[in-house]
Amino acid sequence: MPVEITWWGHATCTVADSDTRVLTDPLFARRLAHLRRRRGAIPPPGAWGADVALVSHLHADHLHVPSLARLAPGTRLLVPRGAPRAVPALRRLAHLRLTEMAPGDTTRVADLTVRAVPARHDGRRLPVGPHRVPALGYVVEGEARTYFAGDTGLFDTMAAEVGPVDVALLPVGGWGPYLGHGHLDPGLAAEALLRLAPRSAVPVHFGTYWPIGMDAVRPHEFHAPGDEFVRLAAVRAPKVAVHLLGHGQSVRPEVAR
């Protein structure tokens, strides 16, 4: 069966590979604190079904406990090592099979191998506080090797740490008018493509959530990152097939045989 990627919005994707469903950073909320979902419907109940869910880091738009609570009993949940200590609510999700991961760790899920890789991003749960847990990316290997970057900045050892991949799910924006340290904007994401050299890429983490009452503040940072990434990727990494998806849309990217 061909590998299929579905983007539900923000950093939430379903990767279907080897008859196994992988869900990334599940976020099924219309509103999250000061953020409102401005584009794309809330993912339907069918999107909640997965064999394994990957959580990249502790920020509430990536580790969203109410969304994780909707996952079916027995679902595997991979989180950064130390997450249950930093986010005690994770311990109450007794219906999930939780595994803590650190860079270099691997685990098997059905016919897939999932490997945790480093990310350059603030790992704290809150903007300030002592509970710092390293942010992760993940490489999912089955019929394809799919890299889910989570949130990350560009770093010198990215290609070596991630390794060869067929598909890269790369963040290209954010949820506010300014990107802080530890993020990829369209230009940096295009540079990451040049370094990683995947066959295909899907831009994520843009055009979904925005602060309430700030619709008129730098609106291009909400609307433009996907198209800008496509434009810059064609210049920096023209051999990579970039698939710009709408919310809920899917693609079956080319995979090495």
Tell how strand 12-17 and strand 4-9 pair up: antiparallel
pLDDT at 129: 55
pLDDT (average), residues 107-128: 87
pLDDT at 122: 80
Is pLDDT at 61 greater than 70 in this prediction? Answer: yes
Lowest mean pLDDT among 64-68, 83-87, 107-111, 236-240: 83-87
pLDDT (average), residues 223-249: 97
Q: CA 232, 233, 239, 245 torsion: positive or negative?
A: negative
Coil, strand, or helix at residue 47? helix
pLDDT at 181: 80
pLDDT at 255: 79
Q: Which of 174, 184, 177, 190 is nearest to 230 (CA)?
A: 190
Q: Structure tokens of 180?
A: 């802080």
pLDDT (average), residues 161-184: 93
d(CA 118, CA 149): 9
Lowest mean pLDDT among 162-166, 214-218, 223-227: 214-218
pLDDT at 1: 62
pLDDT (average), residues 105-121: 97
Residue 32 phi/psi, 5-degree rounding, is -140, 105
pLDDT at 52: 98
The pLDDT-based confidence of 2 (bands split at 50, 70, 90) is confident
pLDDT at 180: 80
pLDDT (average), residues 103-132: 85
CA dist list (Å): 213 to 176, 178, 206, 249:
11, 15, 18, 28
Mind listing the pLDDT tens digit for each residue in 30-50? Answer: 999 999 999 999 999 999 999
pLDDT (average), residues 108-129: 85
CA dist list (Å): 251 to 3, 9, 111, 155, 178:
8, 14, 21, 28, 29
pLDDT (average), residues 114-136: 80
pLDDT at 177: 86
Average pLDDT score over the chain: 94
Proportion of the chain above pLDDT 90, given as a percent = 87
Is pLDDT at 187 greater than 90 in this prediction? Answer: yes
